[in-house]
Structure 1
């Protein structure tokens, strides 16, 4: 099978380096890519991730290097992400509990999901979920995405998530037991000390009619403190690693590879290669 990665990106804005870092490493290692978004719209890069003068408030320093600003601009302005797969078009929602013929519809959903897994899990080596603020809106509580993630877990395939996309793993869980799939695992993610207190931004917004509003926006703090969610999700036998004060915080507890933030992105790509080609199963703890 050809070396292939499925990448799911937010339509509200992804952080450039969190795609570019692993993308460039994996591409150099011979991997090809397919891209997917929740509704099939081109994902925009967050403006600060293309601006090397941007000062990150919690860290008190510029976090976008000239290299990653340029590479993000190149990808954002290219056709690479112009025609992503629409997750909404290839997998239906699980039926509502009170819907008509729930039992039959649930059986039908599972049959469709198995065929979906054959196309979008079996044909790939790994799943990559780059972060940024956008995923909080259209990925973290996206039931379709949860079911995609469950497919990679079912097939024992690598799942790499960065920054706020680690929350997708916290909320992905089998419908019948509802325990997080990272329960008992070691993960990293945005530590409380590094959360914004204001100015959480989105590159594109969509209205109630699902049409683009052609505007970016700045809100207050992030919608939730990621660290608290991850601490609860891993439970008493797992562990959250914040890595506060350390430049990098990247944790591999197979099949989950998690990166705290932008600076971990290249290492995430390097560890994906080592995991896929050398059988690495543990790193960072």
Structure 2
């Protein structure tokens, strides 16, 4: 993944980003953003962008594999005013990533609670179900009350053969019938969508369950959710306006605010 010499200037002029760090190589854009969060005088939002990321992180102990062609960045910004829970940022950002990706492919693009974006190509034969592959992930961290880091990894121009073989779910890439894609143009489009999504969140303080439902890959599926020491099994039935996953366990719809989903 490479960017033109005027990338930082265009990002500052065409998006809401006020400061840009563009690294040829970086361990983790989120780690760098967390370092910058300690500076109370930083001009926000700050965009930390890596042409190559070598130590990307996911939720918990998960790692994010970023082969060449992966778009990896982190936004450091002030949380939207009135935001009740920073956990809402992950699904909201995930929807923005999904909408951007959907404009770059003819394949189906969906979201998986709480922070994954998936892709499923059209079946080669009608009636045959093709598995979803992981296209992107979002990692939100709040190092202090007035700072939040929103990290995104998007498999934009990756060669499918470059992904590790041991991944729990197959990786997907947007490189295909329309690729390779202009990374800077895609990033600008995504940042514009993120600004609009965060503005809506600041004004309403809620996730729109209808928007989520349009791309929800879990709805109607049997799931098992590990939430701390508890485990809930049942049928996924959407998300609430405050970002909780709803699972019908046979007796009632349980609302889960944090956890890991197997399906």
- Using structure 1 for the length normalisation, give the TM-score: 0.28
Larger RCO of the pair (alpha carbons < 8 Å, separation 6+): 1
Q: Which has the higher strand share?
A: 2
Q: Which has the higher helix share?
A: 1
- Using structure 2 for the length normalisation, give the TM-score: 0.30
